[in-house]
Amino acid sequence: MGLSFPSDLEAYLDVKNLPSKQKAKGLANLKNILIVFIIFLLVPLVVKSPYYLTLLTTAGIGAVLAMTFILLLRTGLVNMAIAAFWGMGAYFSTIMSMKLDMSFWLCLPMSAILTGIIGLILGLILVRNPGFSFVIMTMVIAMVFVVAVGSTEELGGYSGMLRIPRPDPIHIPFLFTLKFKTNMASYYLMVVLVLLMVVLLSLLYASSIGRAWTVIGLNSQLAESLGINVFRYRLAAFFLAGTIAGLMGSFYVHYLGSVNPETFNLFKTVHVFIYAILGGIQFPFLGPIVGSLVMVFFPEFIRTTQELESIITGGVLLILIIFLPAGILSLPGLRTFASNPAQIFSKYAQAVRSPWSRERSSDK
């Protein structure tokens, strides 16, 4: 596809030789991400309004979906069915919690696993024909999903289902009970889920599996000649993407309380693409976060323009994509920040002589 991941070029060249360097880079990445997450954890102390917390939760879900998009993009697959898998997880969770009366904490992993299994089965057929046919077939899946669910009255048809229960309270013995009634509680749950996904993906990217994915994305024929089973690695990535999307779908419906098939249509997948591309696909975690924050909050800031809001958002998006086709984070100042926020922070910390100043993070 002609995509380039310059920071991984070293990995491409020493694919079998210096795993420790890749591991060190991956762990440094992890440190950066933990810093970003400390920021996110502290946000509700500043932002009290439940409406903004709702927006942040939505943005978080979109960011994780965009991360799965980048995961598959790295292996050379453009998945147009992301919203459909998201929807599958959502509907699985709805059925399990409402018709089978299962607790949310059981529904969450179960719907992730079930969606993953469906992803695996579909992937066995789809991943065999990578390239344009993959795009087309995932597009068909996305369209079939919406129409299939909409035509099934047991799933609520096109009007969807309501009154989906909130997550059950967790009783921590001898301490307190975590209830999930407020928006702040849902926000924290979202942050925990996003953190788990990011840690998982980060560890995978730093491992030999991640290296294999990168090589497959750069030149799949070369990867095949090096002995990497391209089909299996792509299938694994597809399965993982489906599982993660299903997980977020389950969280989404229990957080929202209702489900509707039109939410999971092809346009939603394209919105997820925009989150990833706007942020910059070079950055598998910060890119989606930046992109989804911008796309969720920018319309809010111009909400006073009412009906012109879509036009302005579209116009700004057009300008951004003409001048920054590689994403927002490709701007020179931001690129150094995004690659290594830990280093930037430690430079500032040096000025006030905090314990961090003694750390020297590894190079970019």
Partner 1 sequence: MLTLIGQLIVDGIAMGMVYVMLSAGIVFIMSVTGIFYLAYGQFYMIGAFLTWGAVVLFNLPFPAALALAVIATTILGLLSYLLLFQHTMASEEKFLATIVAAVALMMVLGQGGLVVFGASPRSLPDLFTGNISAFGITISVAKMVVVLIGIAVILLLFLFYTKTKTGRAMRAVSFLPETASLQGINTKAICLACVGIGTALAGFAGGIIAPGYGLVPEMGNNIILNVLLIAMLGGIDSVLGAVLGGLVVGLILSFGQYFFGARVQIILFITIGIIISIRPGGLLGRKELTL
What character string, x for contact with partner 1 (CB under 8 A) and - otherwise, covers 60-99?
Answer: ------------------x---------------------
- Minimum separation from the CB atom of position 319 to partner 1 (A): 9
Instruction: Establish if 296 lies at the interface with partner 1 (CB under 8 A).
Output: no
In angstroms, the CA 214 to CA 30 distance is 18
Instruction: Establish if 151 lies at the interface with partner 1 (CB under 8 A).
Output: yes
Interface with partner 1 (CB under 8 A), residue from 41, 106, 117, 326: 326
Interface with partner 1 (CB under 8 A), residue from 212, 266, 294, 342: 266
Give the H or E element holding residue 30.
helix 19-46
CA atoms within 13 A on the CB side of 186: 28
In angstroms, the CA 363 to CA 211 distance is 18
Instruction: Establish if 253 lies at the interface with partner 1 (CB under 8 A).
Output: no
| Token representation of residue 241 | 């993407």
Please answer whether residues 90 and 260 qualify as being in contact, where contact means their C-beta atoms are separated by less than 8 angstroms: no
Q: What angle do CA 121, 122, 123 make, to 5 degrees?
A: 90
With a CB cutoff of 8 Å and minimum separation 6, the contacts of 270 are none
Interface with partner 1 (CB under 8 A), residue from 182, 325, 350, 363: 325
Please answer whether residues 285 and 198 qualify as being in contact, where contact means their C-beta atoms are separated by less than 8 angstroms: yes
Measured from the CB atom, is 44 or 284 closer to partner 1?
284
Please answer whether residues 146 and 262 qualify as being in contact, where contact means their C-beta atoms are separated by less than 8 angstroms: yes
Interface with partner 1 (CB under 8 A), residue from 7, 103, 133, 354: 133
Interface with partner 1 (CB under 8 A), residue from 7, 179, 315, 354: 315
Please say whether the dihedral angle defined by the alpha carbons of residues 253, 69, 203 and 24, taken in this order, is positive or negative.
negative
Q: How many residues bind partner 1 (CB under 8 A)?
A: 44
Measured from the CB atom, is 22 or 269 closer to partner 1?
269
Instruction: Establish if 132 lies at the interface with partner 1 (CB under 8 A).
Output: yes
In angstroms, the CA 24 to CA 305 distance is 48
- Minimum separation from the CB atom of position 84 to partner 1 (A): 12
What character string, x for contact with partner 1 (CB under 8 A) and - otherwise, covers 273-292?
Answer: xx--xx--x-----------
- Minimum separation from the CB atom of position 111 to partner 1 (A): 23
| Three-state SS at 346 | helix
Interface with partner 1 (CB under 8 A), residue from 143, 199, 203, 302: 143
| Token representation of residue 206 | 């730093």
Q: What angle do CA 266, 269, 273 make, to 5 degrees?
A: 140
Instruction: Establish if 124 lies at the interface with partner 1 (CB under 8 A).
Output: no
In the complex, the residues that contact partner 1 under the rule CB under 8 A are 1-4, 78, 125, 129, 131-133, 135-137, 139-141, 143-144, 147-148, 151, 266-267, 270-271, 273-274, 277-278, 281, 307-311, 313-315, 317-318, 321-322, 325-326
